């Protein structure tokens, strides 16, 4: 990146989450990712640089190994002219959603991360002039807690995600049970998808067509998620599923029940695929927050006595090879040491990170008669689709968030048990229609 020649007009607002904001370059397939902070919580430039460097190191030394070289793009920290950042911030402000404006873009340090634009196919450095369909999925937690430390029976039946949605009072959209008819929205979605999936150039229409196109989207995404690249290995972790396999509140559970099937002893995911690897990292949360919290307090007590040890314990980095090697110790035998407690705390932070990452899938039709340039392809009814799959938002969750997670966990389960589960049967039977063989549940962003 030629920092001296930065022009804000070449960059446009791309998206943002709770902690960072992303702008994309108009021609080149790169994005800049800036940190965001609440207005009264400014950090020094050194702190921001360290934070960004930690994100890059964590991706390189930990996540690349766990998830696979091909899926993780760590990027690099770049220093930008302050004037460019200020002008860019002014330019994009009007495009930011109001709900995200409680935090400001960091315009003081001049540091940001430069990453490949993962909404593009990863083999091209410049924007291509052919349609790209991009789907971002947040694969929240993929297992039900199996830890013996879990005290709330409900946590063995219903997953945290399903329970949490009720506490958030989020509105379910495109779900089968909401008051509005999703038909018009689904029709519009299908209209946009037809050029990618429908054999007759999107000219056919009607409810049957809408359903077929959306089913094909789900089919293609599933195939991409279950695919393995040749280089993909099973990953460094070997954690087996234990306990109940499927969330009782999910449509998947109902569908298995209807088919008279039991939940399987294993995840059923191919070992080289990204979903399997993501699940393995999520399962580093072996003890659940209920088993982890006392260990966190053990570390805290030690740090109160020996605050200078915080650095040696690598609580705030560096996230290097030593940090990585310690994560591989899967033993759950507590010998009462701070070392054991620390390993479990660090594994929990990594697991929470994997429970909050996103998977970006970019799909583009292969032109007829051309080779796929050695890119992976997936067949669809209209043409073959070249695709790339990447993981993003792999920022290690902070040590400080553990007490919050502990309190939140209790709040989520108590709320669900008291307010929802009591009247659950009626709600569930109306929310998810029986005999639906594909369910697309989208949430407002
Ligand atoms: O608590 P959850 O499971 O709702 O996850 C939060 C996410 O909510 P969602 O994925 O929409 O359910 C939440 O995402 P949104 O802001 O809702 O887009 C954040 O990713 C948050 O992480 P952090 O505090 O920014 O590090 C996430 O918080 P933690 O992963 O730190 O719990
Ligand atoms: N390298 C990238 N290429 C393309 N789009 C990206 C890239 N990185 C992030 N994005 C887009 O920007 C959005 C916000 O980025 P990101 O998820 O990293 O933000 P965050 O604030 O860390 O998220 P969270 O709310 O989960 O904490 C993503 O959801 C994605 O749509």
Sign of CA dihedral 186, 188, 193, 199: positive
155 has a pLDDT exceeding 90:
yes
Confidence of residue 438 (pLDDT cuts 50, 70, 90): very low
For 43-99, what is each residue's pLDDT tens digit? 999 999 999 999 999 999 999 999 999 999 999 999 999 999 999 999 999 999 999
Mutate which of 78, 392, 397, 401 for ligand 2 pocket (most atoms within 8 A of beta carbon): 392
* DSSP classification of residue 385: E
Across the chain, what does the average pLDDT equal? 86
Confidence of residue 281 (pLDDT cuts 50, 70, 90): very high
Ligand index nearest the alpha carbon of residue 13: 2
Q: Which residue has the least CA distance to atom 11 on ligand 2?
A: 15
**Distance of CA 17 from the midpoint of ligand 2 (Å):** 6
Q: How far is CA 190 from the centre of its chain?
A: 25
Q: Which residue has the least CA distance to atom 12 on ligand 2?
A: 15
Cβ–Cβ < 8 Å for 103, 75:
no
Dist. CA 135–CA 361, nearest whole Å: 5
Confidence of residue 433 (pLDDT cuts 50, 70, 90): very low
Which atom of ligand 1 is closest in space to residue 405's alpha carbon? 32
Rama region for 392: left / alpha / beta (φ>0; ψ in -120 to 50; rest): beta
145 has a pLDDT exceeding 90:
yes
Dist. CA 107–CA 430, nearest whole Å: 49
Ligand index nearest the alpha carbon of residue 16: 2
194 has a pLDDT exceeding 50:
yes
Number of H helices, E strands in the chain: 13, 12
Average pLDDT over residues 398-404: 98
- φ, ψ of residue 255 to 5 degrees: the values are -65, -40
Q: Which residue has the least CA distance to atom 31 on ligand 1?
A: 397
Quote the pLDDT of residue 420: 82
316 has a pLDDT exceeding 60:
yes
Dist. CA 157–CA 351, nearest whole Å: 20
Q: How far is CA 195 from the centre of its chain?
A: 27
For 335-388, what is each residue's pLDDT tens digit? 999 999 999 999 999 999 999 999 999 999 886 666 555 678 888 777 789 999
For 85-110, what is each residue's pLDDT tens digit? 999 999 999 999 999 999 999 999 99
Quote the pLDDT of residue 183: 77
Nearest to 48 by CA among 77, 13, 15: 77
Q: How far is CA 428 from the centre of its chain?
A: 26
Cβ–Cβ < 8 Å for 10, 27:
yes
Quote the pLDDT of residue 435: 42
- Using DSSP's 3-state secondary structure scheme, residue 12 falls into strand
Which atom of ligand 1 is closest in space to residue 443's alpha carbon? 11
Q: Which residues line ligand 1 (CB under 6 A)?
A: 17-19, 138, 164, 352, 356, 397, 401
The vertex-382 CA angle with 381 and 384, nearest 5°, equals 90
pTM over 0.95: no
What the block records as the tokens of 269 is 């995911």
Largest CA distance in the chain: 72
**Distance of CA 357 from the midpoint of ligand 1 (Å):** 9
211 has a pLDDT exceeding 90:
no
């Amino acid at each position: 990146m030629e920092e001296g020649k930065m022009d804000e007009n070449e960059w446009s607002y791309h998206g943002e989450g709770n902690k960072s904001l992303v702008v994309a370059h108009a021609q080149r397939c790169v994005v800049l990712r800036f940190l965001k902070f609440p207005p009264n919580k400014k950090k020094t430039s050194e702190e921001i640089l360290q934070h960004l460097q930690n994100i890059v190191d964590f991706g390189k030394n930990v996540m690349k190994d766990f998830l696979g070289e091909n899926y993780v793009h760590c990027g690099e920290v770049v220093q930008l002219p302050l004037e460019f950042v200020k002008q860019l911030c002014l330019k994009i402000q009007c495009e930011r959603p109001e709900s995200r404006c409680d935090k400001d873009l960091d315009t003081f340090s001049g540091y940001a991360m430069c990453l490949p634009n993962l909404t593009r196919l990863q083999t091209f450095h410049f924007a291509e002039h052919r349609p790209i369909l991009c789907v971002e999925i947040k694969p929240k937690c993929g297992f039900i807690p199996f830890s013996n430390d879990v005290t709330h029976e409900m946590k063995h039946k219903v997953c945290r995600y399903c329970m949490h949605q009720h506490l958030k009072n989020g509105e379910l959209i495109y779900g089968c049970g909401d008051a509005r008819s999703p038909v018009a929205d689904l029709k519009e979605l299908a209209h946009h998808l037809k050029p990618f999936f429908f054999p007759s150039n999107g000219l056919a229409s009607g409810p049957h067509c809408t359903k077929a196109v959306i089913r094909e989207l789900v089919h293609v995404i599933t195939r991409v998620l279950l695919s393995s690249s040749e280089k993909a290995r099973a990953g460094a972790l070997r954690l087996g599923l234990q306990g109940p396999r499927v969330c009782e509140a999910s449509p998947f559970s109902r569908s298995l029940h209807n088919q008279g099937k039991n939940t399987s002893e294993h995840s059923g995911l191919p070992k080289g695929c990204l979903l399997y690897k993501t699940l393995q990292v999520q399962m580093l949360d072996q003890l659940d927050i209920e088993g982890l919290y006392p260990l966190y307090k053990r570390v805290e007590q030690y740090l109160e006595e020996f605050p200078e040890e915080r650095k040696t314990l690598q609580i705030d980095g560096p996230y290097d090879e030593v940090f990585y090697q310690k994560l591989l110790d899967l033993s759950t035998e507590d010998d009462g040491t701070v070392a054991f407690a620390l390993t479990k705390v660090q594994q929990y932070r990594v697991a929470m990170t994997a429970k909050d990452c996103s998977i970006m899938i970019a799909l583009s039709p292969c032109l007829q008669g051309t080779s796929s340039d050695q890119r992976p392809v997936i067949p669809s009814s209209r043409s073959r689709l070249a695709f790339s799959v990447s993981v993003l938002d792999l920022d290690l969750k902070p040590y400080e968030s553990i007490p919050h997670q502990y309190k939140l966990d209790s709040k989520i389960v108590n709320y669900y048990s008291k307010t929802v589960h009591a009247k659950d049967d009626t709600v569930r039977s109306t929310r998810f229609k029986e005999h639906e063989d594909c369910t697309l549940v989208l949430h407002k962003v």
